[in-house]
Amino acid sequence: MAWYQIDVDEIFKTLRASEEGLLNEAAEARLAQYGPNRLAEEEKISRLKILIHQFTSPLIYILLIAAVVTAFLGEHIDTGVILAVVLLNAVIGYIQEYKAEESVRSLKKMVVPKARVLRGGKEKEIQSERLVPGDIVLLSSGAKVPADLRLFRAAELNVDEAMLTGESLPVAKATEAIPAERLTPGDQVNMAFMGTVVVSGRGRGIVVETGAKTILGTIAQEVREAGVVRAPLQEKIGQFAKAIGLIVLAASGLLFLIGILIGEKIDTMFMTAVAAAVAAIPEGLPIVVTITLAIGVARMARRNAIIRNLPAVETLGGTTVIGSDKTGTLTRNEMTVRLAYDGTHTYELTGTGYAPRGEILQDGLPIEAGPLNHLRPVLRIGLLCSESDLYEENGEYKIDGDPTEGALIVAAMKGGLDPTQERERYPLVAMIPFESELGYMATLHRRENRKFIFAKGAPERILDMCAGAGAARGEIMKIADQFAAEGLRVLAMASREAPPDQETLTHDHLASGLLFAGLQGMIDPPRPEAVQAVARCRKAGIRTVMITGDHAVTARAIAKQIGIVEEGAEVLGGKALEAMDDEALFQKVKGVSVYARVAPQHKLRIVQQLIRHGEIVAVTGDGVNDAPALKAAHIGIAMGKSGTDVAREAADMVLTDDNFASIAHAVEEGRVVFDNIRKVTFFLIPTGVAAILSILGAVLIGVPIPYVPAQLLWINVVTNGLQDVALAFEPGEQGVIDRPPRNPKEGIMSRLLKERTVLVGLIISAGIIYRFIETLNDGASLEKARSVAVTTMVFFQFFQAWNSRSETESIFRIPLMSNPFLFYSLIAAFFAQLAVLYVPAFQWVFRTVPLTLTDWLEIAGTAAVVIVAVEIDKWLRRRKGGDDLLQPVPL
């Protein structure tokens, strides 16, 4: 029911209540009828169920099969390594999924434990769980609202609703019914919602909704229903694992069948086929993906982005749309006076935030404080007609009081006025605090033997009280409208001299006779770094969308200043959103980049419709109202400084500095992470393919198999083990942030990498068979030929590791020591291979014999072919600008 539209008397009748409150018996009966005033209990997934869920990935199935096979082969070390990989992935996944279940628990912290009510005409404190519709709740400064209330008394009542609506300023509350349809919570000024905080004043309201039916309860339900969106990387790894599993199974089966058909022993071919399958399966990939993501987490942490969910690292790199809050993320959340008018001239004030640093400009030129005779009274009124103060803490300026008044104090200081001296020169005698119904605030000051009244408020209201403003009113309102059109909140200043004996201040003293002093226009300014970050995102092909609870004019002005939209761009408001069905919104979201006065469900719907378009969506938020959208997006980004626990628990990433620029940095790191996962994959897959092709080729040619099973496992587990991990530490390539986002449908392997995998796999397998047959033809033993084949494969892997460092850049342009881990891992792998060839114990295990210097030179020369081939391929693609080859091909 739209309670805000209904007159208070009608609500009392509907709820069978009175201003004296319910009798205890009636309250107990209603408690039984409506249930306790608390959020619904979350149905928790059992820990066992979460643990079992970690073993349902296709890649994990393959690894478990590989573990069984290696155990069957007696390769217990390999079995241990594979099981350790499975266990590590399970532990990480379990922790992440269990944390995801904490979201709604944080919502419950917003529920108020106690409430002051009237029961039978007597004031008493009760547990808020026992509140029922019809109860009368008493509100005072500092109190949390315990349920959704329809206000019927409000004395200077201001409520902070930022956690619920995103509105940066406290909302002045009223009691009259509002006839408008489909108002968002932020516009329902005669309502007070559960979890919001009373900033000042007093009020009374009748409980109209409790528990799950409150706005907060609705959000809790949306968080539960939103579910956790699987990260694109998780989807890609799943698809990739299925494809690899099927290909390896088919290739191994074909190898076994061909071997039997040409007369090989069944047990020999079985062991060979199994070993080849284990060699081809990239069991190092899951652990390397985890390590790569963990490295990305560490790099992002240094850039003020804390990752709570590992796959979110990569998701950022693929982001195509960022839905951002305005206040505090794109802006400073510090009101700043930008323009001032003294009745004759308009001035621009530089500087942002509460730091009193900046200049006053006229026609773009700075003006010294001395000549500002006409502007100084405007600044003085803004400074002294105030209940707030500016103070410094740890080198940072903060406001004690209202942000608007803080901006006026800072503006006065930029004009050369010292707050302490001004308050000593004009001591306060009396005050009329700001009231939303009146639209102004006034103060009475003493100045030696004279007294002055200062007033500030809405331009229309102040001009009504000014003497002789009629002729100039049109010009003044024109200036005020110009200020407002730029998204500024405009206040007018006026004053007059009072009788020397006047000691009080009433509304009658301000009915007329004031002298208009001027206007000041203020706004929560954009962060300079946010402007750069939005431009950077646009260059990277990422669209920034502003989703705010603020008013449309302000939202459009800030979006234009930041560079999100151009002049005259459409702004979609909450009322229009409310009237749209999902299909209409689906058509709108592709073209609209600014949404204003949105309710929690609106933000969620916007995110859902963007995802329907195939976008990879990141969304920022700091309030309870943002939790459903944070959870529904591919990556939810919460504010660390200003955000609520609810938002942080629902998010995948937390910004420690609440700065949009940190998102742009994180996007860059996310792209580096995905690049490195691709590099690892391109290193592992061709060598696995070559292992099967070389065996298959040898069988078809009619020569012995080039390896024994133990040698295949050595190649796969030991020599790959260091190099694939080392590739996870590759630094980002130049221009990584300037590329457009990859197509969301693109798999782990791009078309380019698939074509190059075939090329490299064929070269490696051909090189191994060539060296194997040449060694046999030279009269060497089978053990010697196999030792040469294994070492040739190891050298091919060395060179393939260098090839994998970039998809397009020549390895000769990449500094040798830009990734020292890779350099040292190759040296370690080389010495490990020497041990296999020359240490007697390893010779016995792996059936190897020592090689001569000539053997080493021939092996190195053969393996170097893979570098030449890939360099030529890269050069050809660069020459013809082969961007089309990066387009997705389904796995």
Query: What is the rounded distance in angstroms from the CA atom of residue 14 to the CA atom of residue 3?
Result: 11
Q: Give first-to-last CA distance, the chain, whole Å.
A: 51
- DSSP state, residue 241: H
Residue 823 neighbours by CB distance under 10 Å: 15
Q: Work out whether strand 360-362 and strand 191-192 pair parallel, antiparallel, or are unpaired.
A: unpaired
Residue 40 is given by DSSP the state P
How are strands ordered across the β-sheet holding 543-547? 305-307, 653-655, 635-639, 617-621, 321-324, 543-547, 594-596, 571-573
**635-639 and 617-621 strand pairing:** parallel
Burial class (CB in 10 A: 0-12, 13-18, 19+), 16: exposed
Q: DSSP states of 629-658 as a string? A: HHHHSSEEEEESSS--HHHHHH-SEEETT-
Look at the alpha carbons of 180, 186, 191, 194 in this order and tell me if their dihedral is positive or negative.
Answer: positive
List, as one string, the DSSP characters of 496-554.
EEE-TT-----GGGGSS-BEEEEEEEEE-PBPHHHHHHHHHHHHTT-EEEEE-SS-HHH
What is the DSSP annotation of 265-309?
-HHHHHHHHHHHHHHHS-THHHHHHHHHHHHHHHHHHTTTEEESS
User: Residue written as tokens 């995948």?
Assistant: 652
Q: Is 439 left (phi over 0), alpha (psi -120 to 50) or beta?
A: left
Distance between CA atoms of residues 530 and 512, nearest Å: 45
Pairing of strands 396-400, 389-393: antiparallel
Cα–Cα distance measured from residue 174 to residue 191, given in angstroms and rounded to the nearest whole number: 8
How many alpha carbons lie under 13 Å from residue 402 in its C-beta half-sphere? Answer: 18
Q: What 3-state class would DSSP assign to 713?
A: helix
Distance CA 52, CA 93 (A): 11
Cα–Cα distance for residue pair 62/252, rounded to 1 Å: 14
Alpha-carbon separation of residue 660 from 433, 637, 664 (angstroms) = 36, 10, 7
Contact 304, 657 (CB under 8 A): yes
What is the spatial distance between Cα 307 and Cα 315, in angstroms, rounded to a whole number? 11
How far apart are the C-alpha atoms of 561 and 326, rounded to whole Å? 12
Taking a C-beta distance cutoff of 8 angstroms, is the pair 728, 683 a contact? no
Residue 17's SS3 state is: coil
Measuring CA to CA, which residue among 321, 300, 235 is closest to residue 635? 321
Q: Pairing between strand 346-349 and 336-341?
A: antiparallel
State the catalytic residues: 325
Neighbour count for residue 50 (Cβ, 10 Å): 18
Q: What is the dihedral of CA 141, 143, 144, 146, to 10 degrees?
A: -120
Integer Cα distance of 631 and 651 in angstroms:
6
Task: Identify the DSSP state of 736.
Answer: G
Encode 166-205: b = buried (16+ Cβ within 10 Å), e = exposed: bbbbbbbbebebbeeeebbbbbbbbbbbbbbbbbbbebbb
